[in-house]
A and B are shown apart, each in its own frame.
Chain A
């Protein structure tokens, strides 16, 4: 019986999921994080706040997003049925906006006139620029110069929405460096600035806040699956970079132990090549980066190493601390899909279903396509289609040797 099922109450008061998570930041940010924790605690118990958040999700984001049965693809694979949770249909084209709306409302409550964000693929940057326009905030988005090149269309999109995009040229010039730079901005402008962090990483309370705003994905699935299929899926599959769509999808399913939870990381050119972004799958050493303790891709001296993935959104050396905890506890399993497997899944969904998925989401789909043929036809695989692929046209075309 659903009512009897047990959900865990992590993180603890100081942001720990077992030995993971925590608050590893310079002293200047400690009071800001405390202020944020207090504000979030007040808002999550405030009926008016929740009502406003839900109203915005419905009328601005376009929720609930449907669950779609990919029948032709499933038939082609000849095994389990593949169902897609259509986060790609959200306003701005990905799950990122769920969290941005929530944090923007928090910023409004806290009276902060300026918001900042980091972005990899540009989806979180676009979602942040979008809510900044919607609520009238000044907005600055930090983006690695590598990603600015890969995601030119999203850069322009953010500018159209009134945001300032700051290219970050330090380190590996990708998502992790954008996050460093956003942190530096926050340290400097902490009194008037709200940092809208896009994933379930960073210092506490961010992994909890982002999770709680993203659980709308999993909560909708619970109701929709019951209504449309009369049961829950056998396997729930989501891609994992920092892991925000996955945690939002998985978390409400934690008590449903018969539902297997599978996170799919980016295997890049292959785990064995070392050129990947899969700290959980590759059993990377545990370390401290960006304010939390988690599995972290690093060299023997504790320097963070460069990651590789065709998808900018998964190109991150760490992973949300709750995923680290879920891996150790065994409640979720983590696997990886290579660049080529993700691209194959990308093309398959285009051709069989008329849906162009984001390269990030294509990793989750790739794993579903791998296991579906090994399972009976009455089994259900629910894949979180976290975003749409419009932003990836260039990358995919380039890989196929096509120039616009």
Chain B
């Protein structure tokens, strides 16, 4: 069983929801990322999504675009992101790490070279935003052979047939995009989510996380009531961006803990 599956199984047994924070690797610099990951875990993260910066982040809003630009300006690359994961693994063997990014850096490295290197570094899953299942058979096959999970997106615009197709290619968990828009966008339709998530879970037979536009504990709790996992990205990246030098880790940990507490109230209820 993969690290990701183990986590979800344990949480389910405890009646708890997974908290999946996202940060961009190398933002604001390479040295900050492992300490930030440590803070995410300390604050109560179950899985970490680590953004691989790309020059043209088509599906990201301004906050994560800026994070990518900061990271790239300091020379971050896919190879160096894998180095960061390796360093994190040396001190943490439990928290799954899912890389989230775009197709081109992976293709530039070579799909099978990437999968081998990711496996060795201790990566657990990969989510490639601009790889719908029909365009990435090579990656899916290599990931499967390596025992890594490939996480796919589903959207409010996706049909039931699409749930099925995407679930067939994916493993670990599915990531439901809570709104039409880019990361960090404004409004979430709770009714829509409450209606869709149980259908997706039934069809897909794996945990469903919800993300894009979750900014506070209250929203996270509402989402947690229907989904298996809550993904928070832009809001945390914003926290890093706004922090004084040296304060980012503490601020991120405090923010994540607030979400953790709210989510765990669901278990007690």
A28 touches B108 (CB 8 A): no
B59 touches A187 (CB 8 A): yes
Q: Is A171 an interface residue (CB 8 A)?
A: yes
Give min CB distance, A208 to chain B, whole Å. Answer: 17
Chain A residue numbers with a CB within 8 Å of B54 are 302-303
A174-217: CB near B (< 8 Å → 1, else 0) gives 00110010011001111100000000000000000000000000
B104 touches A180 (CB 8 A): no
* Size class of the contact patch on chain A: 35 or more
Q: Is B35 an interface residue (CB 8 A)?
A: no
Per the 8 Å Cβ criterion, residues 24-61 of A in contact with B are 24-32
B134 touches A24 (CB 8 A): no
Of the candidates A26, A32, A177, A287, which one forms a contact with B59 in the assembled complex, judged by CB atoms under 8 Å apart? Answer: A26
A289 touches B158 (CB 8 A): no
Nearest A residue to B177 by beta-carbon distance? A28
Known: A22-B135, A23-B135, A291-B130. A170 touches B65 (CB 8 A): yes
Nearest B residue to A306 by beta-carbon distance? B55
A27 vs B154: C-alpha distance when bound (angstroms):
6
B129 touches A26 (CB 8 A): yes
B58 touches A180 (CB 8 A): yes
Chain A residue numbers with a CB within 8 Å of B58 are 25-26, 180, 183-184, 290
Give min CB distance, A135 to chain B, whole Å. Answer: 24
Chain B residue numbers with a CB within 8 Å of A32 are 157
Chain B residue numbers with a CB within 8 Å of A301 are 77-79, 105, 108-109
Known: A30-B158, A287-B108, A302-B109. A25 touches B130 (CB 8 A): yes
Q: Is B156 an interface residue (CB 8 A)?
A: yes
Per the 8 Å Cβ criterion, residues 46-73 of B in contact with A are 54-59, 61-62, 65, 69, 72
B55 touches A30 (CB 8 A): no
Which of A170, A291, A300, A302 gathers most chain B CB within 10 Å? Answer: A302
A304 vs B102: C-alpha distance when bound (angstroms):
12
Q: Is B166 an interface residue (CB 8 A)?
A: yes
A31 touches B130 (CB 8 A): no
* Size class of the contact patch on chain B: 35 or more
Nearest B residue to A172 by beta-carbon distance? B55
Chain B residue numbers with a CB within 8 Å of A225 are none
B158 touches A27 (CB 8 A): yes
Q: Is B103 an interface residue (CB 8 A)?
A: yes
Nearest B residue to A177 by beta-carbon distance? B56
A343 vs B43: C-alpha distance when bound (angstroms):
60
Of the candidates A24, A286, A290, A298, which one forms a contact with B131 in the assembled complex, judged by CB atoms under 8 Å apart? Answer: A24
A188 touches B185 (CB 8 A): yes
Chain A residue numbers with a CB within 8 Å of B130 are 24-26, 288, 291
B56 touches A176 (CB 8 A): yes
Q: Is B88 an interface residue (CB 8 A)?
A: no
Chain B residue numbers with a CB within 8 Å of A351 are none
Of the candidates A190, A285, A287, A291, which one forms a contact with B157 in the assembled complex, judged by CB atoms under 8 Å apart? Answer: A190
Nearest B residue to A191 by beta-carbon distance? B180
Q: Is B230 an interface residue (CB 8 A)?
A: no
Nearest B residue to A301 by beta-carbon distance? B77
Q: Is A296 an interface residue (CB 8 A)?
A: yes
Q: Is B153 an interface residue (CB 8 A)?
A: yes
B135 touches A302 (CB 8 A): no
Give min CB distance, B133 to chain A, whole Å. Answer: 9
Give min CB distance, B49 to chain A, whole Å. Answer: 15
B134 touches A14 (CB 8 A): yes
Chain A residue numbers with a CB within 8 Å of B109 are 301-302
Per the 8 Å Cβ criterion, residues 127-142 of B in contact with A are 129-132, 134-135
A303 touches B72 (CB 8 A): yes
Nearest A residue to B159 by beta-carbon distance? A31
Of the candidates A190, A300, A304, which one forms a contact with B56 in the assembled complex, judged by CB atoms under 8 Å apart? Answer: A304
Chain A residue numbers with a CB within 8 Å of B134 are 14, 23
Q: Is B155 an interface residue (CB 8 A)?
A: yes
Chain A residue numbers with a CB within 8 Å of B72 are 303
Of the candidates B104, B154, B177, which one forms a contact with A298 in the assembled complex, judged by CB atoms under 8 Å apart? Answer: B104
Chain A residue numbers with a CB within 8 Å of B180 are 28, 187-191
Q: Is B74 an interface residue (CB 8 A)?
A: no
Give min CB distance, A292 to chain B, whole Å. Answer: 10
Nearest B residue to A291 by beta-carbon distance? B130
Chain A residue numbers with a CB within 8 Å of B185 are 188
A-B pairs, top 6 by smallest CB distance, nearest first, are A302-B108, A302-B105, A28-B155, A301-B77, A188-B181, A27-B153
* Pairs A–B under 8 Å by Cβ, sample size 26: A14-B134, A23-B134, A26-B59, A26-B153, A26-B155, A27-B132, A28-B153, A28-B157, A28-B181, A29-B157, A31-B157, A170-B62, A184-B59, A184-B182, A187-B180, A187-B181, A188-B185, A191-B180, A286-B107, A287-B107, A291-B130, A298-B108, A301-B79, A302-B107, A304-B55, A305-B55
Extra contacts, 18 of them, besides A30-B157, A190-B180, A301-B109 (Cβ < 8 A), are: A14-B134, A23-B132, A24-B131, A25-B132, A28-B155, A28-B157, A30-B132, A31-B162, A32-B157, A171-B56, A184-B181, A288-B102, A288-B107, A300-B108, A302-B104, A302-B105, A302-B106, A304-B56
